[in-house]
């Protein structure tokens, strides 16, 4: 295992001099990446999660670039081409695992909810990323009792503004309002703690 990590470091370097501190917002963004990478079902969540969160690569790339002609020192090249590692807190990783598992465990129900509440929309025209963002929201709504519903919806809308279409925020907001009502009626959204009970 250690040999594989060293080999991966050579091919996919992770910066040795810089890192950034993880946050709930960044963890949510990474969960979005995990879900998006696995939406077609060709790659498993279990394979993608360590890649996205810890930069652990489990594949062999074909042909590495020739180093000839470079004018930078190897350590400079390493830093320029490196992914910046993220220092995650235990809470943020636990959050991400809970949401990813909830997405996996609720795929069929999520699909039903999206289909049910998108009847007035041309399903073929709904951006794939919007469907992924709704999956993320549903996963967080059912798995994270400590996060207010409004926070989940607002955060997902912000991600939609950043990564999807101009109209995605309005669409997702409407969908999540209706889906949240269904999930509450089914007893799947249970918020506990001060300020979380509506």
**Ordered per-residue pLDDT tens for the chain, 198 residues:** 455 555 555 555 666 767 788 899 999 999 999 999 888 777 777 778 888 888 775 444 444 454 444 444 555 544 445 567 788 999 999 999 999 999 999 999 999 999 898 877 765 667 889 999 999 999 999 999 999 999 999 999 999 999 998 888 999 999 999 999 999 999 988 876 554 545
Among 87, 114, 138, identify where a domain stops: 87
The whole-number pLDDT of residue 124 equals 60
Residue 80 shares a structural domain with residue 116: no
Domain count, the chain: 2
Residue 116 shares a structural domain with residue 168: yes
Residue 6 shares a structural domain with residue 83: yes
User: Could you tell me the residue range of the domain that residue 27 belongs to?
Assistant: 2-87
Q: Which two tokens stand for residue 96?
A: 């991400």
Residue 7 shares a structural domain with residue 77: yes
Residue 126 shares a structural domain with residue 181: yes
Residue 45 shares a structural domain with residue 82: yes
Q: How far is CA 81 from CA 46, 126, 130, 143, 196, in A?
A: 26, 35, 31, 36, 43
The whole-number pLDDT of residue 13 equals 62
Residue 73 shares a structural domain with residue 111: no
Backbone dihedral angles phi then psi of residue 135, each to the nearest 5 degrees = -60, -45
Type and span of the H or E element at 97: helix 90-105
Residue 42 shares a structural domain with residue 118: no
E-state strands within the chain: 20-21, 86-87
């Amino acid at each position: 295992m250690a040999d594989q990590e060293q080999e991966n470091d050579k091919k996919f370097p992770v910066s040795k001099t810089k890192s950034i501190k993880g946050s709930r917002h960044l963890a949510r963004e990474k969960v979005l990446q995990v879900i998006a990478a696995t939406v077609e079902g060709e790659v498993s969540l279990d394979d993608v999660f360590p890649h996205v969160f810890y930069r652990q690569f489990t594949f062999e790339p074909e042909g590495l670039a020739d180093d000839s002609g470079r004018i930078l020192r190897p350590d400079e090249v390493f830093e320029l081409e490196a992914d910046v590692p993220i220092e995650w807190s235990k809470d943020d990783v636990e959050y991400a695992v809970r949401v990813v598992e909830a997405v996996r465990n609720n795929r069929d129900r999520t699909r039903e909810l999206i289909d049910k509440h998108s009847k007035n929309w041309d399903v073929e025209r709904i951006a794939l990323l919007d469907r992924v963002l709704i999956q993320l929201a549903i996963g967080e709504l059912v798995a994270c009792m400590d996060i207010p519903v409004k926070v989940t919806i607002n955060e997902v809308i912000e991600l939609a503004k950043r990564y999807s279409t101009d109209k995605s925020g309005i669409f997702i907001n409407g969908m999540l309002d209706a889906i949240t009502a269904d999930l509450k009626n089914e007893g799947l959204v249970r918020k506990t703690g001060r300020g979380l009970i509506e």
